[in-house]
Amino acid sequence: MISVKTAKEIERMKKACSISAKALWLGGQAVRPGITTKQLDKIMYDYIVKEGAKPSFLGYGGFSGTACISVNDAVIHGIPGDLVINEGDIVSIDVGAQIDGFHGDNAATFACGAIAPEAKRLLMVTRESLHRGIAAALPGNRVGDIGAAVQTYVEENGFSVVRDFVGHGVGHHLHEEPEVPNFGHTGRGPRLVSGMTIAIEPMICAGNYAVKTLSDGWTVKTRDGSLAAHFEHSVAITPQGPLVLTGEWEEHYEL
């Protein structure tokens, strides 16, 4: 069942989303040559706990980190550990926080120093595809309108959309109905109504969209070894249009 929140509930949810957004930005700011993904994870853990919240991902399904940190050809669900970040890497960070009965969820891909022009273009297109998807999240539209907006823009720019993983509802639980694919057709899927809160999260590959899950049971990589990027916002559907709840990192993000 799709959860529809009241205006007061969305106001309460904003706190979790704000903490999530600030944690993401702190992690992204710390990306530099020589740092490990475990060190990045601790920065975000320390901030979330300091704010009186709980990391949404820690222990979820047995996941051992505060954030999913995925590097280069890793699309999503990278487990923080001893992997060292190098100059030229792209680092996708997905992190959420829970407080006052609500979760926030967001992601972005950060450049470690100077990155290749095609990697930079991948990040720019993926981020813009997120904005295109959000713009389609209007009351009366359908979930398929979001996916179609993302897919059309991505494929026009020569990249591909991951099919095996999708966005989702978010709020009282980290993952709620409905599923929110980053591909599809306009006019299809559940209708969007005011009070729905969803996580829109394009996962985009420079090459083919086929992916594989590694033996650790979590890390998802592109099958062809091409780069991948991941951007995400928690969004509320309102009578005035989509309201981005995790937008604070956007104010500072640069390539």
β 233-238/90-99 pair status:
unpaired
pLDDT of the residue at 251: 87
Query: Mean pLDDT throughout 217-229?
Result: 98
Residue 149 pLDDT > 90, yes or no?
yes
> For residue 112, what pLDDT band results from cuts at 50, 70 and 90?
very high
Parallel, antiparallel, or unpaired: how do β-strands 54-55 and 74-76 relate? Answer: unpaired
> Mind giving me the DSSP string for 230-248?
E-BEEEEEETTEEEESSGG
Is a pLDDT exceeding 90 seen at residue 252?
A: no
| Pairing status of strand 90-99 against strand 67-71 | antiparallel
35: nearest Cα among 63, 64, 71, 65: 71
pLDDT digits (tens, 9 = 90+) for 39-77: 999 999 999 999 999 999 999 999 999 999 999 999 999
Closest CA to 209 of 180, 183, 232, 178: 183
Dist CA 91 CA 78 (whole Å): 10
Q: How much is the average pLDDT of 182-192?
A: 98
Triad 13, 17, 19: Cα angle to 5°: 120
Report the pLDDT value the prediction gives residue 255, as an integer from 0 to 100.
Answer: 84
At 254, the pLDDT band (50, 70, 90 cuts) reads: confident
Sheet holding 228-230, edge to edge: 160-161, 203-205, 228-230
CA dihedral 199, 204, 208, 209 (to 10 degrees): -10
Confirm if 249 and 93 have CB atoms less than 8 A apart: no
Mean pLDDT value across the chain? 98
Q: What angle (nearest 5°) sits at the alpha carbon of residue 219, between those of residues 184 and 158?
A: 40
Residues 6 or more apart in contact with residue 192 via CB below 8 angstroms: 137, 138, 139, 140, 141, 142, 143, 145, 237
